[in-house]
Chain A
């Protein structure tokens, strides 16, 4: 059960990490989100989401290199897994299916 469901924020975060293509970590994801969608998510919320996604198996992560800007701390870089990609595809498929139904219903209503 837990593995299949994708929340709205989760989906967006997953997509962002996909876009960043193996470069995504905390702040970078946050910035990308605000750039692409103009959506401000707090860092702590983002962390929680990413770790939850990792627990669900949609993401995998490793500790990357330390830099001076980070006060000598390494960053956790996230990558999207095949399971994650499939979940995204599935959610996209579902949506498209729904969208195709939408105008059909509207035209039916109009003709009546």
Chain B
């Protein structure tokens, strides 16, 4: 019988025919063939082959397996399993040691693989995602530069018109807080964007209701996500209904989309279009939109990039020069690269870094390696107990290959067992893992089929790696050597095992040093003098600017409570990302120069409320000139960059503000350099006016006592005055600390991983040492008989470990210094490399190892020498 080349997988078929009982093998093979033929037509050849393999495995059950005496291999295999189990039970300590290591390694790696594969899967859900790009721009200004994810509104349409490779475009607005009225109740949604008509050509979210062709064909249409529909209206049956927005007016619901997947940098909830034709106009100065384009299939990216240069010159050069006073360029970012590779100004959401993902992956790999090394070390040590068994097997005709198979069987058994336990552990560890990574995985997501393939890979690899050395180690002994009475077990020098030990030591060392460094830096960040006081301050997000009069009323109403010390309405509070702008300042020689500076709007209470130090000049007052924005307060950094020697010199100098045509203000005060942003960033030139339109943040300084009753008082007052419940009250110091969340998370993960690795390494070391001591007990006792003291013996052992520890140290320290440095320089303000840690960590680790060694030796040293010398 001749089969076509692309038949069912031959190895699976052979496997089936090998294990299966003869009387049923034919029908099963036939059935599987028939179903395979059918499925390969419906679902494709490869898929059918996979299903074939799965079915073959599902037939692998006890009732189908042929345990016939005639099958020699199977008999041996059965014997291997039997002996393996007897050994597992006989050496319970050893087995549980092994299991524990592998379980920890596998659990950690299963979870990490989920994390890594999730991070790598971002933004791949769109049709032909590899052809979708975001258009970003880079702008050079006189004193600064900016690379931003945003672009002007006509960009998409013009690109489509002028560059033939562009197939379609989608543009949508910057963050847009939407206030939706449902039954006279106001709901705020910060994931609302207004979009260009052809938005769905690129972001092809599946629609539950509505037709993707004409969702946005009429102006004032709105597409909402399923969860928004359910949250606000309790149903998805909403087509043709209207949605009231305070700003955009009445919008007609024309579609309901599935919730965008969470593994995307852009997860909108409400998408609508307006009737003002924003994406059709020629206003190249309004840079507050995101533009995405899809290239035609097979377009030459290099060619498109080249065309973008002349495109920029024709369309954008002049507007950029007018708006920013500089030059620039535009470039494309592939949509699936944004999440891990893009860190621009005005990103839609906080992106991760590719480096972080790789670090995670490496940590997972290291844990598996350390676990495998443990397995190898323990298995080698263990196998020496079984030299005689191997000898007997050889006498009975086993060859090297068979010994190898035996050890593979054992290792496969123990890895499968630990994989099983690991999978049982995952539901328990999932909440911890979710909180560490900031993700929200469901159990079923972790155990998905496509990820399962990796787990199986890891398990096979671990099993293989763990067994390979012990098998060769034992396989190479000659039979006569094994049975010769004078056989000297002391010959086991185990160079490979010691090398592996050294590697573990190295990894553990680097991990501990890194963890301690991260802790020290975070501690430094926590305790660093920031230049302002953020304690006992409530931060209230009013969502909307209350207006000057209303603002006054709010402040006065709050100050009636004796527990409230001060209140201030500002545009941005410490910890917020402060918009920066290229502003023109008067220099000492009277000319004007542009400096990129953070521009905040505050009121007269702000400086005192935060206890910011004024080094020169005065604070704002309620005078008209202050309120109209004719005065500014700047920080020392700014006047230094302008070239003033003393803060006083800058007082009265002029600044051009973007508050209207020829709006000039003068500097009335200079504050210290205050860390309003995280210590990752350098303190930037900073400028404040008393002009607070759009200031929607309320800061309330309160007394330490009765915080919660004050909180309720604020809440009630605001409800009464603003007639709205949308404000959010939080603590300023907590909000400020949010900036370090990623760092804190990293330190938690590092801590967890280093505990695991250190624990595993020490466990492995104990295993190896105890083995060595057991087999050198005779030698030790002979020395004892000749008068050796305990410490003589200890020194003898320590000598054996000194060289591996030194080599590990020599390699570990430079690696640790390099990694520490890499991480620390991501902070503009950081600690010096903590050399004490570099010295103390190895010292502590080495002492722990030697203490373990001493205890173990003490153990065998206590007994009477006769006990050991009697043995053959």
- A residues near B, CB below 8 A? 25-27, 42-45, 47-48, 51, 63, 66, 69-76
Contacts and interface: CB of A to CB of B under 8 A. Distances in A.
B37 interface: yes
Given A44-B61, A47-B59, A26 B33 contact: no
Interface in B34-66: 34-35, 37, 55, 58-59, 61, 63-64
Among B7, B8, B61, residue most surrounded by chain A Cβ atoms (within 10 Å): B61
B33 A42 contact: no
Contacts of B430: none
Contacts, number: 66
A70 B34 contact: yes
Given A43-B32, A44-B58, A47-B28, A71 B63 contact: no
Contacts of B61: 44, 48
B63 A26 contact: no
Contact of A70 (B7, B33, B55, B59): B33
B26 interface: yes
B396 interface: no
Contacts of B29: 71, 73
A48 B59 CA distance: 9
B63 A70 contact: no
Interface in B1-46: 1, 3, 7-8, 24, 26-35, 37
A28 B33 CA distance: 13
A69 B33 CA distance: 7
Among B29, B31, B34, B35, residue most surrounded by chain A Cβ atoms (within 10 Å): B31
Contacts of A45: 58
B63 A48 contact: yes
Nearest to A71: B33
Interface residues of B, number: 22
B59 A75 contact: no
10 contacts: A25-B27, A43-B59, A47-B28, A47-B31, A63-B27, A70-B31, A70-B33, A71-B8, A73-B33, A74-B30
- What are the nearest 9 A-B pairs in CB distance? A73-B30, A71-B33, A70-B30, A26-B31, A76-B27, A44-B58, A44-B59, A72-B1, A73-B29
Contact of A75 (B31, B37, B58, B64): B31
A69 B34 contact: yes
Interface string B534-555: 0000000000000000000000
Given A42-B58, A51-B63, A69 B37 contact: yes
Given A47-B59, A73-B33, A75-B27, 8 more contacts: A43-B55, A44-B58, A44-B61, A48-B63, A70-B33, A71-B33, A72-B1, A74-B26
Among B26, B27, B33, B37, residue most surrounded by chain A Cβ atoms (within 10 Å): B27
Given A70-B30, A73-B30, A47 B35 contact: no
Contacts of B31: 25-27, 43, 47, 70, 75
A42 B29 CA distance: 15
B53 to A, nearest CB: 13
B817 to A, nearest CB: 57
A71 B58 contact: no
Contact of A71 (B3, B24, B55, B64): B3
B666 to A, nearest CB: 80
B27 A73 contact: yes
Contacts of B55: 42-44
Interface of B: 1, 3, 7-8, 24, 26-35, 37, 55, 58-59, 61, 63-64
Contacts of B58: 42-45
Nearest to A77: B27
Contacts of B27: 25-26, 47, 63, 73-76
A42 B35 CA distance: 12
B149 to A, nearest CB: 48
Contact of B24 (A27, A51, A69): A51
Contacts of B64: 44, 47-48
A71 B29 CA distance: 8
Contacts of A74: 26-27, 30
Given A42-B58, A44-B61, A75 B24 contact: no
A27 B1 contact: no
Among B3, B7, B33, residue most surrounded by chain A Cβ atoms (within 10 Å): B33
Contacts of B7: 71
A27 B35 contact: yes
Contacts of B30: 26, 66, 70-71, 73-75
Contacts of A47: 24, 27-28, 31, 59, 64
A16 B37 CA distance: 24
Nearest to B36: A71
A75 B24 CA distance: 10
Nearest to B32: A43
A72 B30 CA distance: 7
B58 to A, nearest CB: 4
A70 B26 CA distance: 10
Contacts of B63: 48, 51
A63 B23 CA distance: 10
A63 B26 CA distance: 9
A73 B26 contact: yes
Contacts of B35: 27, 43
Nearest to B7: A71
A66 B34 CA distance: 11
Nearest to B31: A26
A49 B3 CA distance: 31
B49 to A, nearest CB: 14
Nearest to B37: A69
A2 B493 CA distance: 60
A73 B20 CA distance: 15
A106 B452 CA distance: 51
A48 B28 CA distance: 11
Nearest to A72: B1
Contacts of B59: 43-44, 47
A69 B36 CA distance: 9
Nearest to A76: B27
A62 to B, nearest CB: 11
A1 B3 CA distance: 47
B610 to A, nearest CB: 66
A48 B37 CA distance: 23
A103 to B, nearest CB: 40
Contacts of B33: 69-71, 73
Contacts of B32: 43
Given A43-B58, A48-B61, A27 B26 contact: no
B532 to A, nearest CB: 66
A47 to B, nearest CB: 7
A75 B37 CA distance: 15
Contacts of B24: 47, 51, 76
A93 B610 CA distance: 86
B64 to A, nearest CB: 8
B26 A71 contact: no
Contacts of A51: 24, 63
Among A63, A69, A74, residue most surrounded by chain B Cβ atoms (within 10 Å): A69
Contacts of A26: 27-28, 30-31
A48 B34 CA distance: 19
Contacts of A70: 30-31, 33-34
Among B28, B30, B34, B55, residue most surrounded by chain A Cβ atoms (within 10 Å): B30
B30 to A, nearest CB: 3
A41 to B, nearest CB: 11
A48 B61 CA distance: 9
A81 to B, nearest CB: 19
Contacts of A72: 1
